[in-house]
Amino acid sequence: MQFDFLQPVENEVVEFINSLSIQHLGAKVALHTENSFPSMDKVDIAIIGVSENRGAGIHQDIDLRGFREEFYNLYEGNWDCKIVDLGNIIQGNSVSDTYFVLNQIALELLKKDIVLIVIGGSQDLTYPLYRAYDKLDKMVNLVSVDSKFDFGNSQLPMTTDSYLAKIIMEEPNNLYNYSNIGYQTYYTSQEEIDLMDKMFFDSYRVGEVGADITVVEPVLRNADIVSMDLTSVQSAYTGNFSRFVPNGFTGKEICAIARYAGISDRASVFGIFNSLGLNSEAVLMAQIVWYFIEGFTHRYNEYPISNLENYTKYIVSFEDDEDLVFYKSELSQRWWMKVCFETNVKNKLNNFTLLPCREKDYQEALKGDYPDRWWNEQKKSHSVQ
């Protein structure tokens, strides 16, 4: 078992948890300690800390004790799930050593249908998490909550600012879609924006999301991996003023995004990266994880959709063109639109898919316009050979 590489939760954290009441989260989560390893039977969520930060140019382990103390000092919601804290992956002799261990542990958990929460560590750790899906024979949707696209320079060693280029360019390429939530234009070159358009990827400016947070719900509903860069949040909410971030998400917005990620039936890996291990950051990180788990406990189990009996079907007719079909769940009140693909295109997809959307997309279709997400999905299907 690759779990042998994990270091137990620090004794100081265990002592802190023992001082809390049985109503706190610390009493509800099974811990990997010096004396015991939690049973993995019927586990729903596993938490792992990864202190690898060399991808961000930091050559020392980050301290995750603050996060754990803040998190376990919270109270649980109306939850019915089994959570384990498997401890930490410390820096290996090389960055690739850390990648290997994280990759193998992620693969073990994915095979067991256990949702993984990773507390890092630089964001290049997203790469070994993505590679864990290689043996699962599926296309992967990656969502990054970030002020930048992280394409970087693919000719140089991978860093927290260039991991996405390696994901896109390296074989086997199982990436079906990449979506960015929260980019800030002055941090992104026009070439990067053009590349996002060329590859039919989705991107949402931080102002667009702030104006209507629900715009990202369908994106997160379709995500397998959600990689969250803590520097996408304003310093006023992280308390990190040594790396000052004047603009970005508020604490309330980033927690709402985390809840959307948790409620997604498809999301199996959720990571928070680019923390410096500051106690001020730990408060917000703990609440982000809390909201992800809160979302997880309210999943509707509507993915994949195998029975449309509990869905209302809406058909929008277009003159001299095919009808556009929408479905609304009577259970969750969420919307999907049917995207059909040409049957003579040999690709890894089925002949059609049900793409998460909003009621706003249905209203747009009623006005005679195909939604942007529908067009992107059509174009993307032809590029997946």
Task: Annotate 121-146 with three-state secondary structure.
Answer: CCHHHHHHHHHCCHHHCCCEEEEEEC
Tens of pLDDT along 61-120? 889 999 999 999 999 999 999 999 999 999 999 999 999 999 999 999 999 999 999 998
Distance CA 382, CA 385 (A): 7
What residues does CATH 3.40.800.10 cover in the chain? 2-296
CATH domain 2-296 topology = Arginase; Chain A (3.40.800)
Tens of pLDDT along 224-273? 999 999 999 999 999 999 889 999 999 999 999 999 999 999 999 999 99
Distance CA 73, CA 341 (A): 50
| DSSP code string of 187-227 | GS-HHHHHHHHHTT-EEEEHHHHHH-GGGGHHHHHT-SEEE
Mean pLDDT of all residues belonging to the chain:
93
**93 or 137, which is more confident:** 93
